[in-house]
Amino acid sequence: MKKKEPRWLEVLRVTMPLCLSYVPIGMAAGVLLHAAGFNTLMVVLISLFVFSGGAQFMIASMLTVNASMPTILVMLFFLELRYALLGSSLSQYLRGTKKSFLFGFALSLNDENYAVNYLKFATDKSWKPMDAWMVEHYSLAFWTVANMIGSLIGSLITINLEIVDYALTALFIYMVVMQFKNKLTVLISLISGVAAIFFMSLFKSTMGLVAATLMASLIGFAIEDYLVKHGKAKGFLLSKIKPRASRLKTISKKSETESEG
């Protein structure tokens, strides 16, 4: 009887939790972009074209401190660089699709719809590239409307921006916690935090973030490489952290089944 449900509705049902969680975050982003001087049309355009919570919050906060356009774009590039990883890990499921499809798919890819799609591709054999495309565009629609509402609310009432701004920090903390796969990632997170304070105090600019990111990620890469080559792949630092009800379970592929066996 469930088979009779049209595919678009079925996919919408899968995407709904994600869409709903976009509402408060999108509204917060809209409020902040409005405070940074964006009008509602620009808020809608940036939501459609850039479609990244992190990027939109960052643009808003950098505009309020009068950062220059090149600085904003460099920071943005580093912030969006992580999509290279997401894109490459999804690419195996999108073989044989048209170039125009890939183009539209890349344009609307972001962290959260990636997580939904990766999980579905990895666990559900009937999941097609077109379904993944729908997930992306449903989430894009909710995101854009939430941003628009946020920017309208921002023009109607005054809101304590310091508090709304914390939505981004909470979002990033959530994403950091989602990255904690073993003790090494926790260590790298601490190294990056200390390095960020050091380099930002030194450079007096957000370039300190770039320096900290490069340094900490390379240290992580080097330590893992060293541990794996010295036969410590199952030691203290690289053993898995597994919270209950982990949605990452199916995402972390073969290595997991190996270490469990």
141 near other proteins, judged by CB under 8 A: no
131 near other proteins, judged by CB under 8 A: no
7 near other proteins, judged by CB under 8 A: no
User: Could you give the count of Cα atoms lying within 13 Å of 90 in the half-sphere of its Cβ?
Assistant: 27
To which H or E segment does residue 179 belong?
A: helix 161-179
28 near other proteins, judged by CB under 8 A: yes
CA distances from 197 to 87, 91, 109, 205 (A): 31, 36, 31, 11
Least distance (Å) between residue 145 CB and other proteins: 16
CA distances from 249 to 9, 83, 99 (A): 27, 20, 31
122 near other proteins, judged by CB under 8 A: no
Whether the CB-CB separation of 25 and 146 falls below 8 Å is answered with yes
161 vs 247: CA distance, rounded Å: 33
Residues between 98 and 117 with contacts to other proteins, criterion CB under 8 A: 99, 102-103, 105-107, 109, 112
Least distance (Å) between residue 10 CB and other proteins: 22
95 near other proteins, judged by CB under 8 A: yes
Q: What is the CA radius of gyration of the chain?
A: 20
Determine the 3-state secondary structure of 132 from DSSP: helix
**Stretch of residues binding other proteins (CB under 8 A), selected from 5-13, 147-155, 174-182, 253-261:** 174-182
**Stretch of residues binding other proteins (CB under 8 A), selected from 6-14, 140-148, 150-158, 198-206:** 198-206
13 near other proteins, judged by CB under 8 A: no
200 near other proteins, judged by CB under 8 A: yes
Tokens of 10: 């079925």
49 near other proteins, judged by CB under 8 A: yes
- Judged by CB under 8 A, the residue of 11, 32, 46, 140 near other proteins is 46
Find where tokens 């600085």 sit: 71
Least distance (Å) between residue 91 CB and other proteins: 4
Backbone angles phi, psi at 199, to 5 degrees: -70, -35
The pattern of x and - marking residues 206 through 225 that bind other proteins according to CB under 8 A reads x-xx--xx-xxxxxxx--xx
Strand spans (E) along the chain: none
- Judged by CB under 8 A, the residue of 123, 124, 130, 166 near other proteins is 166
